[in-house]
Chains A and B, each alone.
Chain A
Amino acid sequence: DAGVTQSPTHLIKTRGQQVTLRCSPKSGHDTVSWYQQALGQGPQFIFQYYEEEERQRGNFPDRFSGHQFPNYSSELNVNALLLGDSALYLCASKGLAESYNEQFFGPGTRLTVL
């Protein structure tokens, strides 16, 4: 099991563009969360998906949206990109089988907005 995988690894966009990031959860996991990690900061919770619905959301504008597919994989979409959206975007998954619902993180997608 490769664990949580994310694509692409790196991405460069310009202001105003839209971007889609992808995440495949660890085998057996059904819940996916997304985090934004700016340089020098800790990860910030964006939202969580379970059973193909957004279940919780952090303090992020509507420009950030997501989707979960029947196979539990997920996408993060960001519209009207701003320079401040440049960050490492982390995906984390968890499943009921894990003790205390531990979250497993992917390697992240580095987004640069020019």
Chain B
Amino acid sequence: AQRVTQPEKLLSVFKGAPVELKCNYSYSGSPELFWYVQYSRQRLQLLLRHISRESIKGFTADLNKGETSFHLKKPFAQEEDSAMYYCALSTQTGANNLFFGTGTRLTVIP
């Protein structure tokens, strides 16, 4: 069975400080990994996916198959980064089914 673990429910950092949101997964096959974000009073939206190896809003995430991790990182946090972040895993190409972690609420302190 598949499982996504986000160990931190809450994370606070100062503006300009580096931020890392942790995500670990368990799945015996080759998963697709995603980070979704939900800003205040907005709907859940895709932030980035491992398969495209892109950087969105300064965030990056590298899939580490040895450590089964997909941590989200940003070198300099901004106030507008304050939001709820969910790590998600799909067991199928095309992300037909998404398994989410419990989420981490990031607060960037001015």
Chain A: residues with CB nearer than 8 A to chain B?
3-4, 31, 33, 35, 40-45, 48, 55-56, 58, 90, 94, 99-108
Contact = CB atoms under 8 A, between A and B. Distances in A.
A105 B101 CA distance: 16
Interface in B78-110: 86, 88, 94-103
B56 interface: no
Give the interface SS of chain A, mostly helix, strand, loop or mixed.
mixed
A67 B32 CA distance: 27
Nearest to A57: B97
Contacts of B95: 94, 100-103
B12 interface: no
- Chain B contact patch, size range: 20 to 34
B98 A103 contact: yes
A56 B99 CA distance: 13
B44 A43 contact: yes
Nearest to A40: B102
A4 B46 CA distance: 14
B49 interface: yes
Contacts of B86: 42-43
B68 interface: no
B43 interface: yes
A103 B102 contact: no
